[in-house]
Amino acid sequence: MASDLSRVNPTLRLSLAAAMELGLARGFFARGARLHCVNLLQELPGGCRANCAFCGLGRQRLARRDSFIRVDWPRRAADEIIARLRAVQGRGVVQRVCLSMITHPQALDEAVALVERLRAEVAPPISVLVAPTVLGHDGLTRLRRAGAERVGVAIDCATPELFSRLRGPGVAGPHRWELYWDAYAWALAVFGPGLAGVHLIHGLGESERDLARAMQRARDMGGATHLFSFFPEAGSLLQDRPQPPLGGYRRAQLARWLIDGDLAVEADFAYDDQGRIVGFGVGAAVIEAALEGGQCFMTSGCPGQSVAVACNRPFANERPSQPLRNFPFAPTPDDLALCRAQLVDYA
């Protein structure tokens, strides 16, 4: 049965990068980057009911801003966004649309209706970043039938203790660690192997060992990891937390590349007494092949129609004036030389 399109809120939020790519905001991307995935965010009465410590949408955030992942997420009419998607879809730049659900009683019904409308009116494949707390197994089935091609589950924290402290009872939040992993398992069952991914954030207080083990768990279940580096969101409860060292993030990126490529397993990794990776359990030739070209340092996410990663999120984890953490394009030889040096930096 067709979804009730009246359930779609007349406004949505979209990332500043998406607004720029669609011609809905002025600006340009540093270093000639282009965005290949239009990221949308639900806008529902009362906002998100969760209270994640690192998120600008948390209900107890310290400032009322429109920021979500480092930058503003402007509000636009859903009709206007869809019209612009239709206008640009023949140009080959925008190769995916991703809808992020919020934790809200109306979120699932609206997401289903919006996915159905997007599938009917625009060409790029659709991903949904689901909200497990308001989802359920049936919700994933509804999203699949509506036209979603794959989903993401933002577990974010690498350990149950961190999850509880930053997303659950520790911040009076509704989320539960095992429910999120259950939702990931359900997503793989509903959408199929390889068609669901886990979001993990480096720099929330976990060790490199913790993060690698979470990545291996995601891979063993049949999907992959989409890796982020923590950025202190203005107005969030963690707005004063510093960004993590680049050395640890480069090792996390290489670990993700090796694990998701089935080139290494976490059980073979070697760690120092601080849980930092000092060996990946594979030969030098495997490491060198992984580093060649720098793909392991590029953004990880859902694929496009002609690009390996559509959701390349330019400058989502850093300001353009800062060193790139997730490269939205192929690193230059100078970039790669710097990344190699950072990889072995344990300062």
d(CA 332, CA 342): 15
The domain ranges of the chain are 5-244
Backbone phi, then psi, for 37, in 5-degree steps? -135, 125
Question: Would you say residue 223 has pLDDT above 80?
Answer: yes
**Predicted confidence band of residue 72 (pLDDT cuts 50, 70, 90):** confident
What the block records as the tokens of 80 is 């206007």
297 neighbors 331 (Cβ within 8 angstroms): yes
d(CA 347, CA 344): 9
230 neighbors 202 (Cβ within 8 angstroms): yes
Task: Please give the CATH topology (third level) of the domain spanning 5-244.
Answer: TIM Barrel (3.20.20)
Largest CA distance in the chain: 58
Rg (CA), the chain: 19
d(CA 152, CA 187): 8
Residue with tokens 């970039």: 335
Backbone phi, then psi, for 199, in 5-degree steps? -90, 130
Task: Give the residue ranges of DSSP H helices in 62-221.
Answer: 78-88, 107-121, 137-146, 160-167, 177-191, 208-221
pTM for the model = 0.95
Distances (CA, A) of 343 to 26, 35, 323: 36, 26, 14
* Residue-wise pLDDT tens digits, 134-176: 999 999 999 999 999 999 999 999 999 999 999 999 999 999 9
Residues 6+ apart with CB under 8 A from 90: none
Question: Would you say residue 193 has pLDDT above 70?
Answer: yes
Secondary structure tally for the chain: helices H, strands E: 10, 10
User: Percentage of the chain with pLDDT > 90?
Assistant: 88
126 neighbors 119 (Cβ within 8 angstroms): yes
**Predicted confidence band of residue 327 (pLDDT cuts 50, 70, 90):** very high
- DSSP character for 327? B
